[in-house]
Amino acid sequence: MATTTSAPPPSWGQRLTEQGLPIAVVLLFTMALWYALTVYLNAPGAIERVLEPKGPWTWQDLVAATMTVQRPVLPAPHQVALDLYSSLVDWPVTSPRNLLFHVAVTGESTLVGFVMGTLLGLVLSVCIVHSRTLDKALLPWIVASQSIPVLAIAPIVLVILGTMGFSGVAPKAVIAMYLCFFPVTVAMVQGLRSPQVIETEMMHTYAATRWQALWMLRLPAALPFLFPALRVGIAAGLVGAMVAELPTGAQAGLGARLLTGSYYGQTVQIWSALVMSAFVGLALTAAMGAIEALVLGKRRQL
């Protein structure tokens, strides 16, 4: 809260009980709820298809049957975990049955698009900050784009690039790129403008050129604005790359995996693909956080 500078930093044990324990409790509760839902949702199907033909059954039979039924309405957490594990262990990484293969496909286009979109956003934001015309004429449109579902033009991008002869990574990366581009641009314009008047005037009295002022004052000042946008951008890029895998009937990628799972009613496959994409999202954001800590870590201590 307000000023806690006098209090000693919490020890590891304290942090574990204050932070870890509540999270663990919530997670445990979620798991319990999931199991309860598994039994509840799968019960009608299990009774109809597994138990009734065999004759009388107890509620233990019912619970067991709900966890083993073919194509469950909701697979139990351990079923999803087992499916994930077996896909990672039983098949080589190059096989489409291994989820890591799909992670690599989706991750590649996400990262390529993310890097391109970030670079584009950086360049454009520098231009906007230095040009009054761009600031007045272009920036409002970029800001407005935040309130419209830009992901909706993904199929258009796919068709355009498809007729131009691009396939594979390129179309998916382009979609991930423009999704990353908007948040990065908006945040960087804000960040590059964040230095106080007194600071920019000091650069002026040092006879610093525009480029020097940009490099030594504006860019460092913009970094705390950049990283949150990068986290938003890479998460949006992942969604974009997954969505881009849908209409092409792509053979590979997490989005394609979700779609084929739903075509064939393979619920366990859908859930494991979903859990895997959640892990990818978390990992990408965590990587961004790590880079942020590396770059800005020293600054925080001041």
Decide if residue 164 touches another protein (CB under 8 A).
yes
Neighbours of 153 (CB within 10 A): 13
Q: Which is nearer to another protein, 124 or 243 (CB)?
A: 243
The alpha carbon dihedral of 80, 84, 86, 91 has a sign of: positive
Distances (CA, A) of 45 to 38, 42, 54, 73, 155: 11, 6, 14, 8, 37
Decide if residue 243 touches another protein (CB under 8 A).
yes
Decide if residue 281 touches another protein (CB under 8 A).
yes
Decide if residue 172 touches another protein (CB under 8 A).
no
Decide if residue 99 touches another protein (CB under 8 A).
no
Asked whether the beta carbons of 223 and 288 are under 8 A apart, the reply is no
Decide if residue 19 touches another protein (CB under 8 A).
yes
Smallest gap from Cβ 302 to another protein, in A, equals: 26
- Closest Cα to residue 112, out of 152, 172, 59, 64? 172
Q: Which of residues 115-154 bind another protein (CB under 8 A)?
A: 132-133, 135-141, 144, 146-149, 151-153
Decide if residue 177 touches another protein (CB under 8 A).
no
| φ/ψ of residue 253, rounded to 5 | 115, 155
Specify the DSSP element, H or E, that contains 11: none
What is the rounded distance in angstroms from the CA atom of residue 123 to the CA atom of residue 134? 13
What is the rounded distance in angstroms from the CA atom of residue 123 to the CA atom of residue 94? 37
Q: Which of residues 51-90 bind another protein (CB under 8 A)?
A: 73
Decide if residue 228 touches another protein (CB under 8 A).
no
Q: Which of residues 191-210 bind another protein (CB under 8 A)?
A: 210
Decide if residue 220 touches another protein (CB under 8 A).
no
Q: Which is nearer to another protein, 180 or 238 (CB)?
A: 238
Decide if residue 253 touches another protein (CB under 8 A).
no
Decide if residue 216 touches another protein (CB under 8 A).
no
User: Among all chains, which residue has been given the structure tokens 């908007």?
Assistant: 182
Smallest gap from Cβ 58 to another protein, in A, equals: 28
Q: Which is nearer to another protein, 140 or 168 (CB)?
A: 140
What is the rounded distance in angstroms from the CA atom of residue 165 to the CA atom of residue 268? 36
- Closest Cα to residue 240, out of 69, 100, 116? 116
* Angle, vertex CA 251, rays to CA 246 and CA 256, nearest 5: 35
Asked whether the beta carbons of 277 and 242 are under 8 A apart, the reply is yes
Instruction: Kindly tell me which residue out of 26, 31, 123, 216 binds another protein, with binding defined by CB under 8 A.
Output: 26
Residues making contact with another protein (CB under 8 A): 1-2, 18-19, 21-27, 73, 132-133, 135-141, 144, 146-149, 151-153, 155-156, 158-160, 163-164, 210, 231-232, 235, 238-239, 242-243, 246-247, 254-255, 258-259, 261-262, 265, 267, 270-271, 273-274, 277-278, 281-282, 284-285
